Structure 1
Amino acid sequence: MNRITDAKAISLLKDGDILTLAQQADKIRQKLHPGNIVTFVIDRNINYTNICVNECRFCAFYRRPEQAGAYLLSIDEILEKVQATIDAGGTQIMLQGGLHPDVDFQYYIDILRAIKKKFDIVIHSFTATEILHFSKITGYSFTEVLKRLQNAGLSSLPGGGAEILVDRVRKIVSPKKIMTDDWLEVMRCAHNIGMKSTATMVLGLGETIEERIEHMQKIRQLQEETGGFRAFIMWSFQPGHTELGGEKISSWDYLKTLAVSRIYFDNISHIQGSWVTQGKNIGQMSLAFGADDLGSIMLEENVVKAAGTSNHMSVNSMIDTIRKADKIPAQRDTAYNIIKKLTD
């Protein structure tokens, strides 16, 4: 199959028939992942602090240090959450949080070491935004920061912080946050030391169709160079309680863009559907639009919830959702290895 060009991808997003795109994306999914297996992971997203200096306009989660509700978790509190995750059958921990102005790098190293000392669980944590922050407060290069985290127990990086990898958009919605080149460079440095990651995209931040494809092009190009992205994960901006405000994009727009992403990313194996922002029904429909994975059941999630969107998924509900899409559910690990198929 010939690689789709950026111009063609733009044309498909603008003028393509959504059902035809779904069929094309689903055919690619079947070729890459035969057997109609759809995977999910059991994990917990531990937001260690909501205090953040970035103050992104699209974020309803952050607090300033003096604000009511501002918090910083202790290591003991984090360990309790990890224990609860393991008790629930979880295999992965995601540590993500605000950029706290008064916490030094050792706090993060101590968290990782404490978790690895007590538990056998994969730590898939810290976005590129946090890595840049750690670099600024220590003076270390991205690679040095990543190596120190890796030595303390970090396995891989989530793709958060990407939003739209076009600085025009970023300067409007999150002017203090990591810019495009730094996000890509953090991922390049991680991949170069053998640390895999995911890539993400947030729709509905005022980007154009052309900018959506520009975002995808930058990820596809880096993947050509490093091969370090395990999956592409896309969700939609939730405007509730945010400074940016606005309207949610339609489910139609989300599904169409998802299908084009599956067609476009010929060098990324997994495409994840988002039930967290889209809800269970559209999450289920994503399995007909190229997605082969439904992400995590998320034993804990605070960022999207802060924007007024709260969808829940138990293991049984996840299994039922996948089965009712005529697919075979399977629990996976962070590296997308299947732990067990749930055929009964």
Structure 2
Amino acid sequence: MKVREIVELFEKSIHELGKMADSLNDGYATFVLNKHINYSNVCESKCPICAYHSDNGFTKSVDEVVREALEAVKLGVKELHIVGSHNPELGVEYFEEIFRKISEKSDAVIKALTATEVYYYSKKEKMSVREFLSRLKEAGLKMLPGGGAEILAERVRRIISPRKASAERWLKVMKIAHSLGIKSNATMLFGHVESYRDIAIHLYRLRKLQEKTNGFVSFIPLLYHPENTKLGGEKASAVKILKTIAVSRIVLDDFKGIKAYWVMLGEDLATLALNYGANDVDGTVLGEKIAHSAGAKTPRAMTVERLVKMIKRAGKIPAERDSFFNVIRCYE
């Protein structure tokens, strides 16, 4: 599928796109028991789209991160989503120690560091991305989240994240991770200054890399929240959001999951999105801070019972999954 063909999909009606996208899913919608841990908000990049970074920010110690992770595991959490910032005071040994200590006492999947964090810290440490990731894999890293992708079109990146790794570098980090056997997700932050063509370029580049590596597990369209950001702006309409999710499912039909990230969408729109191509609602998401810093008004966490009700309300069959989209339990 070419970029022009992806753009043309957005010209279809929302109802037609919904039918096309929903037909590609199997009637199930999944979630994972997960915990978000943000290790720092001290960041050199200071992107205009971000409300999370702070000049007087925090950095958690190794023991604080490990304690937070293990406390979540005791509550039944099976995936630890550990991301933060581009902190000039941190390096590979900090992350190695965290991952090793968690792995020694837990079987939870460590899904940590966005591709832009990987690029930043490997460059800071004067080592290759391959060496950096190999060391972290040995320490217990199992998967990369999809963050830092924003929009994989340089025209947009120059506006929204000018000091972050380029689109090419983000893709290269993912390609290297996949070659090392480290699976990943992919995200896209939309609803700011991008056009449908920019979104099409983003999806096209992800599809092309997936055809080469088959290393992506799921795709998460992240809705931009303008509150408290330097960039500002207005939130995208529900129609644009649902069209974007539907087109994502159609284009990325070789990704196991398309997430309706309730933290940014809200429960009602996330539920509706399950009929417009999404087949996953992410999870319990204990401890999320980044989206809420930008103005998300959703709960700070979600119970399994509430997730199951959301999914049933959409007419889908709820199922708990692991990080790699293997179903663990159905709630029929």
Please confirm whether the aligned pair reaches a TM-score higher than 0.5, indicating the same fold.
Answer: yes
The answer on whether the counterparts of 1:304 and 1:310 sit within 8 Å (CA) in structure 2 is: no
From 76, 83, 94, the counterpart of 1:96: 83
How high is the TM-score relative to the length of structure 2? 0.97
Residue 323 (structure 1) aligned to one of 298, 308, 312: 312
Give the partner amino acid of 1:87.
Answer: K
Measured in 1, the distance between the counterparts of 2:117 and 2:210 equals 21
Tell me which residue corresponds to 1:335. Answer: 324
Cα distance, 1:83 vs structure 2: 2.3
Output the CA distance in 2 between the equivalents of 1:301 and 1:310: 12
Q: Which residue of 2 aligns with 1:142?
A: 129
**d(CA) in 2 for partners of 1:324, 1:175:** 41
Residue ranges of structure 1 left out of the alignment (5+ in a row): none
Residues 192 and 235 in structure 2, CA contact (< 8 A), matched pair in contact too:
no
Which residue of the other structure, out of 94, 98, 102, is the alignment partner of 1:111? 98
Partners of 1:342 and 1:89 lie apart in 2 by: 17
Moved over 3 A (4+): none
From 23, 30, 39, the counterpart of 1:27? 23
Matching residue within 11, 17, 29 for 2:8: 11
Q: What is residue 109 of structure 2 aligned with on the other side? A: 122
Q: Which moved more, 1:93-102 or 1:309-318?
A: 309-318
Partners of 1:87 and 1:152 lie apart in 2 by: 21
Structure 2 alignment gaps of length 5 or more = none
State the 1:274 CA deviation. 1.9
Native 8 Å contact 2:29 2:280 kept in 1: yes
Deviations 1:208-265 (A, max 9, x none): 1111100101000001111100111102111010101111111110001111111111
2: CA distance between counterparts of 1:264 and 1:203? Answer: 16
Residue correspondence of structure 1 range 155-234 to structure 2 within 5 A: 155-234=142-221
Query: Secondary structure at the residue paired with 1:89?
Result: coil
Query: Partner amino acid for 1:24?
Result: M
Aligned partner of residue 211 in structure 1, secondary structure: helix
Paired AA for residue 15 in structure 2:
L
CA contact 1:169–1:205 (8 Å) conserved in 2 = no
Report the counterpart of residue 45 of structure 2 in structure 1: 54
The residue correspondences of 1:230-309 to structure 2 (distance < 5 A) are: 230-309=217-296
Partners of 1:105 and 1:137 within 8 A in 2: no
State the shift of 1:275 in Å.
Answer: 1.1
Q: 1:12 to 1:104 in 2, by over 3 A?
A: closer
Corresponding position of 1:132: 119
> CA separation in 2, counterparts of 1:295 and 1:201?
15
Secondary structure of 2:112's aligned partner: coil
**In 2, distance between residues paired with 1:49 and 1:266?**
35
> How far, CA to CA, are the matches of 1:86 and 1:340 in structure 2?
18
Q: CA deviation at 1:104?
A: 2.6
Contact 1:132 1:186 in 2 (8 A): yes
Q: What is the TM-score when the length of structure 1 is the normalising length?
A: 0.94
- Counterpart-to-counterpart distance in 1, 2:73 and 2:319: 18
Kept in 2, the 8 Å contact 1:233–1:272? The answer is: yes
- How far off its partner does 1:205 sit? 2.5
* Residue type at the aligned position of 1:52: C
Conserved 8 A contact 2:218-2:256 = yes
